[in-house]
Amino acid sequence: MEEEPNKTVVSETVASKSKLRPIGSLFTDAWKIFTEGWVKFLLMFLISIGVFIGLAICALALFLIPFFLLKGVIGITVGIVLVLIPVVILAVAVNLATIKIAYSVCEKDNGGIADALKYGFKHFGKFLWISFVAGLLILLGYIFLIIPGIIIGIFLSLVTPIFILEEKHNLSVLKRSRGLVKGYFWPVLGRFLLLGLISVAVSSIQYVTPDFILIQLLQTAILMIVNFILAFYGIIYSYLIYKDLSAK
């Protein structure tokens, strides 16, 4: 009797091309991918922390120099502008690189962190623009009694994987995301809502305030680990939803 061929986590666990994988499989598949790439994820996470610590120091210097040289409102304004520009560029580029490295593990393309960072800085402008437009549409939806904002948010929830994996670097990603989610709105909403509730429940550890310093330090360490896991797990989770819907 022949053995069945090995099945990859990403594609073969989908029961049918027209259906999303069961929620249980979605969670276990996402966790399996996370465990396969956790070392690379951790390295990227530590690099991100280092970048933002360095950025905070530079930002303080960029703000204080014009503040003391120019004085008053002009000094404050120039300082804020000088701080905001590098902060936005680095935040968007590093975020994009983080997602890119997670997708490289999912796709098993052996992409390195240096490649991911290069990609992030190369495409941060286009990604920032698309994220701004998508965020603005969602915000406008929330203004109209919240529910339209939730609907728009779900329809645009696949913008990032489409931007990276399909290399659509223009506003056509909005239409593409809507097209993928159309007909699967409630299942997609349920999957993201469940992940959101679990994330909130797990992250609630930060609202516990122990009296002992050692326990507080332990709590901080645990919270960092939790945030690290949730960040990459969420990226992989969204990736798997995209792969299921794009295969229909």
13-37 pLDDT, tens digit per residue, is: 443 444 799 999 999 999 999 999 9
Q: Is residue 118 part of a domain?
A: yes
Retrieve residue 127's tokens: 């990604």
7 part of a folded domain:
no
pTM of the model: 0.83
Half-sphere exposure of 154 (CA within 13 A, CB side): 19
Amino acid at 139: L
Q: Is 56 a domain residue?
A: yes
Residue 145 is part of which domain span? Answer: 23-246
Which pLDDT belongs to residue 78? 66
Residue 1 has pLDDT above 50, yes or no: no
For 144-212, where are the alpha helices, taking DSSP H only?
Answer: 147-155, 159-165, 172-181, 185-203
Do residues 55 and 87 lie in contact, with contact meaning Cβ atoms separated by under 8 Å?
A: yes
Q: Specify the 3-state DSSP secondary structure of 202.
A: helix
Question: What is residue 37's predicted lDDT score, i.e. its pLDDT?
Answer: 93
Higher-pLDDT residue of 152, 5: 152
* Residue 12 belongs to some domain of the structure: no
If you average pLDDT over each of 40-54, 167-181, 200-214, which comes out highest?
A: 167-181
3-state secondary structure of 183: coil
Q: How far apart are CA 235 and CA 10, in angstroms?
A: 14
Residue 62 CB: number of other CB atoms within 10 A? 21
Q: Mind listing the pLDDT tens digit for each residue in 205-234?
A: 766 666 667 777 777 788 889 889 999 999
Domain count, the chain: 1
Q: Measured between alpha carbons, how far is 7 from 14 in angstroms, rounded to an integer?
A: 11
Q: What would you report as the CA-atom Rg of the chain, rounded to the nearest whole angstrom?
A: 21
